[in-house]
Amino acid sequence: MGKVNLEDNDTKEKKTEFSLVRVKDTWKCKRGKKVTADNVSAAKIYESITENSTSWTVVSPIVFTYKVTETRDLLDPSNQTLLLGHINDPQQLEDMKKSNKQIRRFLVVDQEVYKFYGPKLTEYLEANKVLYKILALPTTEENKSMTMALKILEEVNNFSLDRRTEPIIAIGGGVCLDIVGLAASLYRRRTPYIRVPTTLLSYIDASVGAKTGVNFANCKNKLGAYIPPAAAFLDLSFIQTVPRRQISNGLAEMLKMALMKHRGLFELLETHGRMLLDTKFQADNRVHGRNCMQVASQATRIAIVTMLEELAPNLWEDDLNRLVDFGHLISPALEMKVLPSLLHGEAVNIDMSYMVYVSKERGLLTEEEKHRIINCMVGLELPVWHEAFTMELIQKSLQDRLKHSGGLVRMPLPVALGKAEISNDTSCEILHRAYVKWCDELSVSSDSNSDS
């Protein structure tokens, strides 16, 4: 680019593009677009000079690399994944294995998870001669606050953690992973952290993305940051100790990806959803045999890959047209309104259920497709209606959506099984007509289910 003079009637502007070249221990600006050197940064500085001002525009690409690894027996002392699996550089990994320096780790564990896995986790750390601190906390939606994040930070600071080589490890459900991720992003401006999900929902959702956060001002995740973990380590064996309702809760997010992107996953959940609930995604040789693990592995893999397809190109949500927002337009307000009676996936499913009716009223889904989706939801033991999901809540949530989404509602809607589009022109009349039919058809069955 070099020097360019732009001139109009009133202003003479001189623009210069600089590349940044490392010379020994410092960086130097070098004029011109095509700069050849051994150590050139991807960053650029653009200088603009007019008679009245000088400005510099900095373009600095930020690249995040993180692993999502499915493994088995994560807490087996011979499995080094939890301690070293985040290291990408082979030489650094080799040096770590040869080093006599003691490994140090700070771990935050949901207290309910700790009741099940505390002894095994302690045994793992001690067998590997790790100097460790375990902080077991009640990481529930009601406690998802800056107070909890600051409590973690106090303990991290007392541990004198080295942010370069000692990633914080979070073990728990989505709330735990979100809070610890935010705390890590704040400590010394960004400390690496590792996610170990222990619920199905966090396994396929929170663990694979970049978002961290806590609730604030009675709004879900109003404080947060886009800082992905150094790694996420996924072990399905953790799922065997969660209640059946939590399995169903996670299946809602899996169904979301199926409806948006993958008909095969929908049909898998439609056919085998009850088996996955019964077996908790574990091998069950008594009834289902090897087929269970094959289905479980296939379902989680498709859910993770489809989620990563949507998240990886848009980690910072620069593009506000996001299919993964399906089920998340009204559900955040619903979830906070009735806290703690609905789990996250349950609130999401109620939102999705209503949106299926919106799609049907718009002519995007057939009556048969609508029934198949609702029947699948019921089969997965998910709620499909809630009395607090009112027309007033819908209108307020969509108004808030307009405010924070560039003036467009950006409503993901299924247009077939496994296909979706973003809609910006759904009328109030359609929303209301869909709501009336949704209530007429599903409120009675939902009431009878809650009574049984």
Pairing of strands 411-416, 419-423: antiparallel
Place of tokens 């650094």: 92
| 387 and 267 fall within a common domain | yes
Per-residue pLDDT for 254 more than 60? yes
Condensed to tens digits (0 to 9), the pLDDT of residues 413-440 reads 999 999 999 999 999 999 999 999 999 9
| Mean pLDDT within 99-119 | 96
* pLDDT for res 3: 46
| 282 and 404 fall within a common domain | yes
| 110 and 133 fall within a common domain | yes
* pLDDT for res 4: 46
Mean pLDDT of the residues in the chain: 93
| 181 and 118 fall within a common domain | yes
Q: Which of 293, 290, 264, 261 is nearest to 276 (CA)?
A: 293
CA distance 83 to 313: 28
The CA-atom distances, in angstroms, between 354 and each of 112, 296, 441 are 33, 28, 11
Condensed to tens digits (0 to 9), the pLDDT of residues 379-405 reads 999 999 999 999 999 999 999 999 999
Helix (H) or strand (E) holding 420: strand 419-423
Confidence class of residue 445 from pLDDT cuts 50, 70 and 90? low
Per-residue pLDDT for 37 more than 90? no
How many domains is the chain built from? 3
Query: With left for phi above 0 and alpha for psi between -120 and 50, is residue 409 left, alpha or beta?
Result: alpha
* pLDDT for res 34: 77
**Phi, psi at 211, each rounded to 5°:** -80, 140
The SS3 of residue 129 is: coil
User: Using an 8 Å Cβ cutoff, are 410 and 424 in contact?
Assistant: yes
Per-residue pLDDT for 38 more than 80? no
Length reported for the chain: 452
| Mean pLDDT within 174-189 | 97
* pLDDT for res 33: 74
Query: What percent of the chain shows pLDDT beyond 70?
Result: 94
Q: 37 is in which domain, residue-wise?
A: 3-59
Per-residue pLDDT for 286 more than 80? no
Higher pLDDT, 362 or 447: 362
* pLDDT for res 230: 96
CA distance 60 to 226: 17
CA distance 82 to 59: 36
* pLDDT for res 5: 47
Q: How many other β-carbons are positioned within 10 Å of the β-carbon of residue 92?
A: 12
- Tell me whether residue 315 is exposed, middle or buried, using C-beta atoms within 10 angstroms of its C-beta: 0 to 12, 13 to 18, 19 or more: middle
The CATH number of whichever domain residue 366 belongs to comes to 1.20.1090.10
Per-residue pLDDT for 2 more than 60? no
| Mean pLDDT within 339-363 | 97
**Phi, psi at 170, each rounded to 5°:** -110, 125
Greatest C-alpha distance within the chain? 85
| 282 and 427 fall within a common domain | yes
* pLDDT for res 283: 84
| 237 and 265 fall within a common domain | no
* pLDDT for res 285: 58
| 330 and 440 fall within a common domain | yes
| Mean pLDDT within 252-257 | 98
From 41, 59, 77, give the residue that closes a domain.
Answer: 59
CA distance 136 to 156: 13
Condensed to tens digits (0 to 9), the pLDDT of residues 313-336 reads 999 999 999 999 999 999 999 999
From 227, 242, 257, give the residue that closes a domain.
Answer: 242
The CATH number of whichever domain residue 119 belongs to comes to 3.40.50.1970
* pLDDT for res 289: 59
| 307 and 369 fall within a common domain | yes
| 100 and 173 fall within a common domain | yes
Per-residue pLDDT for 407 more than 90? yes
| 391 and 427 fall within a common domain | yes
Whether 28 is catalytic: no
pTM: 0.90
| 338 and 426 fall within a common domain | yes
| Mean pLDDT within 251-278 | 98
| 73 and 222 fall within a common domain | yes
Q: Which of 348, 353, 363, 354 is nearest to 415 (CA)?
A: 363
From 59, 82, 105, give the residue that closes a domain.
Answer: 59
* pLDDT for res 451: 47
User: Catalytic residue among 144, 211, 220, 280, which?
Assistant: 211
